[in-house]
Structure 1
Amino acid sequence: MRGVSVPTHEYARVAETYVQSFSIPPDARDPAHLSAARNLTMSTRAYTRVVLRLRAQAEHEAADAAAAKAANPPAPSKKRITSNGYASSRSSPSRTSSRAPSPNSGHSQPNHASAPVVGTAFRSPLFRVKRAPLLRVFVPSPDGDWLSDKSVLECEAELKRAGVLGLLRMGDVVWDIAVGDEGNVGRLVWDGSYLIDLDYKYSSVGDLPQYLPTLAFPPSYFHRVIRTGPASTNPVVHIDLAPWGQEIAANLQLLQDRVRTETPQGNIHNVVRWVHRSFFVIRAPPKQRMSMSNGHRRPPSPARLPIPESAGLFVDSGWYGTIVVETEGTNESLADLQDRCPGAFPPRAGGPTATTKEAKDAKKVFKILREKSRPGEIWIRTVNPKERLF
């Protein structure tokens, strides 16, 4: 119970006291400092094991619920006769949505909603389905908030001592709780083999590194696990638009966008700006038929869409639907968007400039616009090199 009852700032205080004790001769050290550090180390190991156990339990319950739903499909709703004599299958009058209409509602575009999440009875404050787990290790760092290579290796060793190294998955977030709870300090991401640091090129608090393909995780997978900065709540993502370049070129428009801005004095103004906006659709692959196993019907495994150049990874179903791409209405921003879709636009004077690997990776940087996104329709905005911090 110590893992959930001890406040997070207590871990940092004990770690600081423990590190300071190394400057004292061994005979003069307080044994209580070593005992407290050992207790918190064992506490974080147990906490990590519990979180991974909860993930396994939640996924098992979700799989059972999905299998039961596939084996026993719901019966069609009964139609009722309304007062005007017409048959209706609605149980209550429909209500109009309070959300703004889709920007591509004027196009004859089918509605591709994201795959529904099967509801289960699983509830836990330590883990949520379709979210990254936040695992803990206690590794006091003599280098302060910034973890050195030695400290990162010690974090990996702690995961091995906890017996969970074989249970980790790509995208799991590991937090060295000994260094504090400010921003994303001490938070690392498991890439499938090693713990890697966050990317600080476009955010002072850190974002998901480019080595992890964003499309392999649900759009909200790292929400509140990898924190965003105070200036913007839109997380940085890395997406390669090349497979959908032709569709983006066909749907590109120059539009006027009206936004509300607040001045330092607190006044709110409506500002009209020009934006280049397009969209493409990530379509779910066709469903597979049910197969027979030992004379029994077995629910089909869901078909998956591979991510190009990702070493066998697949697009998460949370991205199925419409992806709206937006950039500024300037010629420079238009050229930047065209460079992100090689071969989709006619060649222009000067040609593409992204020749090095670093320049090509910069063309995959976007931000998710949370205030505009909704299930089945994700908005992203291009991030230009001028927004890079270093």
Structure 2
Amino acid sequence: MRIELAFERPPPFMTGRAPILRVFVPISDRVPRWPSKEGADASWRELEKCGASKRMRLGDLVVNTALSRPSNTEHVLIFVPFVQHKLVPLEYVHCSTGHLPHYLDAFALSPTYYDPFLPTPQIIYLDFAPWAQQAMASVRLAYERRDHTTTSGARISAKRYLHVGGIEVKPGDRAAPEWRGMISLEAEGTAEGRQAMEARFGHGDAARAIMGPWEVVRERSMLGSLWLRLIPESQ
């Protein structure tokens, strides 16, 4: 039996995942470089021509297939309707493979929205203002044991201190429904780590909470529980 070519490719859309729309915007006099304002505008015009622009939702992905050998994820744009050009590139502040822009609160999207498209580490920006008091009250110092093998072959057990906390996202909270459940939070077990974590929670005051970057720790996450590691702004 001959397999049709269309079925040899991954499906363009999966339920609960970000749809990937493809445009063809080559480098030219009108689009001198990519990513750029001109490239975003040209991509948006292509989406308007085919009618896709009317159906797009926050976080949808647009891929420029005209770039023959893109490095990392530079060929990807994200639909953010509240910015001027609507299509924005990934940022590369905290990892070389790209992450969501700093002004996009990932609580508006499913935590698995970009699986498996975006590579690890998956870094997202979150605003914990609605849970500021709950998160602040949960912060505590903890430790975990890790086994290490020395150069001589001996195995030793060492403690690693960290500050941990957590919140519960309930129905009706300001988050996408897929966030419902427990969120565990981790920061370095130093004074600076605690200060950074408490600052994200506004020290319990929602008006002072700061939206910042967190890394999704998949190996510690499970069904109904997501583990996040604080990424310092200076990192």
Shared fold (TM-score, shorter chain, > 0.5): yes
Give how far 1:213 is off. 1.9
Choose from 55, 75, 79 the match for 1:186: 75
Q: Which residue of 1 aligns with 2:226?
A: 378
Q: Using a 3 Å threshold, how does the CA distance of structure 1 residues 272 and 151 change in structure 2: closer, same or farther?
A: same
Q: Contact 2:145–2:158 (CA<8 Å) still a contact in 1?
A: yes
**2: CA distance, partners of 1:336 / 1:190:** 30
Instruction: Answer yes or no: is 1:237 the counterpart of 2:129.
Output: no
**2: CA distance, partners of 1:268 / 1:134:** 47
Q: Using a 3 Å threshold, how does the CA distance of structure 1 residues 343 and 274 change in structure 2: closer, same or farther?
A: closer
Give how far 1:212 is off. 2.3
Matched ranges for 1:81-160 at <5 A: 125-142=11-28, 146-160=34-48
TM-score (norm: length of structure 2): 0.82
- CA deviations on 1:261-320 (whole Å, 9 max, x unpaired) are 799xxx9976431011111111124xxxxxxxxxxxxxxxxxxx3x3xxxxxxx111111
TM-score (norm: length of structure 1): 0.51
Q: Which residue of 2 aligns with 1:50?
A: none
Give how far 1:375 is off. 1.9
Q: Using a 3 Å threshold, how does the CA distance of structure 1 residues 156 and 251 change in structure 2: closer, same or farther?
A: same
Q: Using a 3 Å threshold, how does the CA distance of structure 1 residues 385 and 212 change in structure 2: closer, same or farther?
A: closer
Instruction: Answer yes or no: is 1:222 the counterpart of 2:109.
Output: no
Identity %: 28
Q: Using a 3 Å threshold, how does the CA distance of structure 1 residues 184 and 269 change in structure 2: closer, same or farther?
A: farther
**1: CA distance, partners of 2:181 / 2:97:** 30
SS at 1:175's partner residue?
Answer: strand
Choose from 184, 187, 192 the match for 1:324: 184
Q: Which residue of 2 aligns with 1:278?
A: 165
Q: Which residue of 2 aligns with 1:165?
A: 53
Give how far 1:382 is off. 0.8
Q: Using a 3 Å threshold, how does the CA distance of structure 1 residues 261 and 198 change in structure 2: closer, same or farther?
A: farther
Choose from 313, 335, 338 the match for 2:195: 335
Give how far 1:254 is off. 1.1
Q: Contact 2:180–2:224 (CA<8 Å) still a contact in 1?
A: yes
**1: CA distance, partners of 2:16 / 2:157:** 37
Query: Is there any run of 5+ residues in structure 2 with no aligned partner, and where?
Result: none
Larger radius of gyration: 1
Give how far 1:208 is off. 0.9
Give how far 1:249 is off. 2.7
Once the two structures are overlaid, the 10-residue window that deviates more, 241-250 or 369-378, is 241-250
Q: Using a 3 Å threshold, how does the CA distance of structure 1 residues 127 and 339 change in structure 2: closer, same or farther?
A: same
Q: Contact 2:212–2:233 (CA<8 Å) still a contact in 1?
A: no
SS at 1:385's partner residue?
Answer: coil
Once the two structures are overlaid, the 10-residue window that deviates more, 175-184 or 370-379, is 175-184
**2: CA distance, partners of 1:186 / 1:262:** 42
Aligned residues: 222
Higher helix share: 1
Higher strand share: 2
**RMSD value over aligned CA atoms?**
3.1
Q: Which residue of 2 aligns with 1:177?
A: 65
Query: Is there any run of 5+ residues in structure 1 with no aligned partner, and where?
Result: 8-123, 286-304, 308-314, 346-353, 355-359
Q: Which residue of 2 aligns with 1:196?
A: 88
